Amino acid sequence: MNRPQDEFVASRRPAWDELDALLAKKSLLHRLPPASISRAASLYRDICSDLMRARAAGYSVEVIDLLDSLAARACAAMYSAPPYRLAGLRSLVASGFPCSVRRHARFMALATALFLLPGILGFVGALRSRGFAVQVMSESMVEQMEKSYSDLGRGRDEGTDSMMAAFYVYNNVGIAFRCFATGILFGLGSAFFLVYNGLLIGAVAGTVTAAGHGRNLFTFIAGHGAFELTAIVISGAAGLVMGYALVDTGRRSRWASLRAKAGDLFRLIMGAALMLLLAAGIEGYWSPSPIVAPVKWGVAGLLYALVFAYLLLAGRRGKPEGES
Amino acid sequence: MQLDNTVEVETPEHVRFRFHVAGPTRRAWAYLIDCLVRIGVLIVIEVVMVLATGHQVRWGHAMVSGGTLLSLFLMEWGYFVLFEAGWNGTTPGKRALKLRVVKAGGYPLSFADAVLRNLLRTADFLPVGYLLGLLVMSWDGRFARLGDRAAGTMVVIEDPVRVAPAITLDPPPTAAELEALPVRLSLSSSEREAIELLLRRRDLSPGRRIELAETVVPGLVQGATSRPGDPVRDPIRDPVRFLALVHFAATGGRAQGASGRGGART
- How would DSSP label each residue in A115-174? HHHHHHHHHHHHHH-HHHHHHHS-HHHHHHHHHTTSS-SS---HHHHHHHHHHHIIIIIH
Contacts of A180 in chain B (CB under 8 A): 119
| pTM more than 0.80 | no
Q: Nearest residue on chain B to A8, judged by CA atoms? A: B166
Contact status of B149 with chain A (Cβ, < 8 Å): yes
B162: left (phi over 0), alpha (psi -120 to 50) or beta: beta
- Give the angle B110-B112-B116 at the CA atoms, nearest 5°: 120
Interface test with A, best of B16, B18, B87 (most A CBs within 10 A): B18
Taking a C-beta distance cutoff of 8 angstroms, is the pair B154, B104 a contact? yes
Task: For residues A28 and A142, give the distance between their C-alpha atoms in angstroms, rounded to a whole number.
Answer: 57
Choose between A254 and B169: higher pLDDT: A254
CB spacing of B251 vs A4 below 8 angstroms: yes
Q: Nearest residue on chain A to B73, judged by CA atoms? A: A170
Q: Nearest residue on chain B to A28, judged by CA atoms? A: B88
CB spacing of A60 vs B166 below 8 angstroms: no
Residue in A70, A170, A177 closest to B122 by CB: A177
CB spacing of B73 vs A174 below 8 angstroms: yes
CB spacing of A9 vs B12 below 8 angstroms: no
Contact status of B161 with chain A (Cβ, < 8 Å): yes
If you compute the radius of gyration of chain A from its CA atoms, what whole number of angstroms results? Answer: 28
Choose between B207 and A305: higher pLDDT: A305
- The pair phi, psi for residue A82, each rounded to 5°, is -60, 140
Counting residues of chain A whose pLDDT is more than 70, the rounded percentage is 92
Average pLDDT for chain A: 86
Contact status of B178 with chain A (Cβ, < 8 Å): no
Contacts of B69 in chain A (CB under 8 A): 163, 166-167, 169-170
Contacts of A5 in chain B (CB under 8 A): 164, 167, 196
Task: For residues B53 and B71, give the distance between their C-alpha atoms in angstroms, rounded to a whole number.
Answer: 16
Residues 6+ apart with CB under 8 A from A116: A198
Average pLDDT estimate for A190-198 = 95
CB spacing of B102 vs A7 below 8 angstroms: no
Confidence of residue A153 (pLDDT cuts 50, 70, 90): low
- Per residue in B139-183, pLDDT (tens digit) is 887 888 999 999 999 998 876 656 556 676 767 777 777 776 665
Interface test with B, best of A1, A68, A277 (most B CBs within 10 A): A68
**Whether residue A189 has pLDDT greater than 90:** yes
**Whether residue A130 has pLDDT greater than 70:** yes
How much is the ipTM here?
Answer: 0.83
pLDDT at A22: 84
Residue in A4, A160, A170 closest to B62 by CB: A160
pLDDT at B265: 35
**Whether residue A245 has pLDDT greater than 70:** yes
Residue in B102, B113, B126 closest to A76 by CB: B102
- Per residue in A274-295, pLDDT (tens digit) is 999 999 988 888 888 888 888 8
- How would DSSP label each residue in A38-84? HHHHHHHHHHHHHHHHHHHHT--HHHHHHHHHHHHHHHHHHTPPPPP
Question: Which residue positions in chain B have pLDDT lower than 70?
Answer: 1-4, 54-61, 159-166, 168, 170, 180-186, 221-237, 251-266
Contacts of A157 in chain B (CB under 8 A): 62
Count other Cβ atoms within 10 Å, centred on residue A22. Answer: 18
Q: Half-sphere exposure (CA, 13 Å, Cβ side) for A112?
A: 8
pLDDT at A250: 84
Beta bridge partner(s), residue B155: B101
Taking a C-beta distance cutoff of 8 angstroms, is the pair B117, B147 a contact? yes
Contacts of A56 in chain B (CB under 8 A): none
